[in-house]
Structure 1
Amino acid sequence: MFHKRTIYVIGDSKTASNNPIMQQFNTYFIGLVIDRDSHEIMEAECSSTISLTSRFVQSIFVGRSIMDMEDIIEEIENRYFGASQKALTVAFKNAYIKYNQIIQE
């Protein structure tokens, strides 16, 4: 399904305790499949209680370079107005840090 030059990275964060995501998963996370050569995000999925949220998050990430962190964060801030906006941003930053550690090895 995914070629050998892709890697899977998870970023996680916390969100408000009254958020249904916290009640269901106890954390907020985003999973990204990234091409090591181009840094392109091939697939994205997040913890969500409704599938529309996950599909919308995919539209923000898929096809973008993970190296465009600031532009992606700006897009999250301008397009995603769910209760987990801050958690999504923090989880993405976490995934970005992990990715950069992996490619430095």
Structure 2
Amino acid sequence: MAAIKMSSNNIFITGYAKLPTGITAQELYTVVAIGLLINRENGTIVDLDCTLVTSTAKRFVRENLVGRKITNYDEIECIFNERYYGCAKKALLFALKICNEKFNEVKAN
């Protein structure tokens, strides 16, 4: 993976949500965590990482979020509802919603 150029205009925001019992990720992590590097000015997701177990799941999340605006949570939710059928979907969406709320707080202050 290519290195992301850090900019003073980028901020780092995290979100966490409890995973459902009985899935591999829950056995390893208990919660799903997502960390987003976001452009402070326009809300664009520049990079991210998450605690999903498989590299395919992590790549799916990255490819569907990088370049999108965290402020367009409804669009993000729609994409995941249409395309992501993993057991962690509800937790992942909740963690992203928390990131959206945190970003809105940063922008308000």
Match of 1:23 in 2: 27
SS in 1 for 2:86: coil
Question: Which 4+ residue blocks in structure 1 deviate beyond 4 angstroms?
Answer: none
The aligned amino acid for 2:84 is: Y
Match of 1:95 in 2: 99
Q: Does 1:77 align with 2:99?
A: no
Whether the 8 Å CA contact 2:70–2:99 is kept in 1: the answer is no
Indicate the larger mover: 88-97 or 13-22.
13-22
Match of 1:67 in 2: 71
Percent identity over the alignment is 28
The aligned amino acid for 1:27 is: V
Q: Structure 2, unaligned stretches of length 5 or more?
A: none
The aligned amino acid for 2:78 is: E
Match of 2:46 in 1: 42
> Structure 2: how far apart are the matches of 1:41 and 1:77?
19
Cα displacement (A) at 1:17: 1.6
1:45-69 residue CA offsets vs partner (Å, 9 max, x unmatched): 2111111110100111100111111
Q: TM-score w.r.t. structure 1 length?
A: 0.94
RMSD: 1.0
Q: Structure 1, unaligned stretches of length 5 or more?
A: none
> Structure 1: how far apart are the matches of 2:20 and 2:10?
32
